[in-house]
Amino acid sequence: MDRRTFFVLLGVPGAGKGTQAKMLEEHLGLPQVSTGDLFRYNLKNSTSLGQLAKSYMDKGELVPDEVTIQMVEDRLGMDDAARGAILDGFPRNLMQAEAFDEMTAPFGGVSLVPLITLSDEEAMRRITGRRVCRSCGAVYHIEFNPPSREGICDRDAGELYQRDDDSEETVRNRLYVYYKQTSPLIGYYYAKKLLAELDGGLSIEQVQGRLMELLAEKEIA
């Protein structure tokens, strides 16, 4: 069988999924597949998918399953995902989780689901202070992970910006949507013995260390 490795990073918005996915990407040589990033890329390029996604993203609601699932399927068909991928922000409800199981079944299914836990208060602090590089997508925090020069990316000197949906009001709804639609996936993956909980309140380096230990335990890396 063509066995592939698929990690699904779960956790509230702001838990650190993107930050850890980028580190894992370098360490494991598997691409980060972030559905949020894919929607933002489509939005920037004014595709019809981007236009459709915008109204949902602005409110912090989920983009309809059909288009989201198709977008992931297309992404996983690309060459760089031939050995698997690190999923960040997908699946986000049971329908997507079931579709993902089907999609990955020929390759041995989902390998592991790290759940990064964090309180709502801390998530709010993290998201409202988040800044993203316009050119390379690197993620910073004005207080917890600042760039060496304010407003400028360390990697490529790109301009840092604040996402439209990182306002306090939209974050409140994104947290609500997470508890209502995404948190049932915790039980779903627990039942499949794929769930591994990590304390997201630790430093970026400590969370990364725990993730590495976890992969070593599971003999994945």
Question: How far apart are CB 192 and ligand AMP at their closest, in Å?
Answer: 19
Rule CB under 6 A: which of 81-110 touch ligand AMP?
89-90, 92, 96
The phi, psi pair for 182, rounded to 5°, reads: -90, -35
Question: How far apart are CB 174 and ligand AMP at their closest, in Å?
Answer: 5
By CB under 6 A, is residue 16 in contact with ligand ADP? yes
The number of angstroms, rounded, from the C-alpha of 157 to the middle of its chain's C-alpha atoms is: 24
Stretch that binds Zn ion, among 19-27, 54-62, 70-78, 149-157 (CB under 5 A): 149-157
Contact by Cβ (8 Å): 5, 220: yes
By CB under 6 A, is residue 186 in contact with ligand ADP? no
Q: Which lies closer to Zn ion via its Cβ, residue 22 or residue 83?
A: 22
Query: How far is 13 from 122, CA to CA, in rounded Å?
Result: 10
Going edge to edge, which strands form the sheet with 32-34?
Answer: 5-9, 84-88, 32-34
Rule CB under 5 A: which of 78-137 touch Zn ion?
133, 136
Per-residue binding string, ligand AMP, 172-211, x by CB under 6 A, is: --x-------------------------------------
| Catalytic site includes residue 210 | no
Query: How far is 60 from 154, CA to CA, in rounded Å?
Result: 29
Would you mind telling me the total number of residues written for the chain in this entry? 221
Rule CB under 6 A: which of 32-51 touch ligand AMP?
35-36, 39
Going edge to edge, which strands form the sheet with 130-133?
Answer: 139-141, 130-133, 160-161
| Catalytic site includes residue 174 | yes
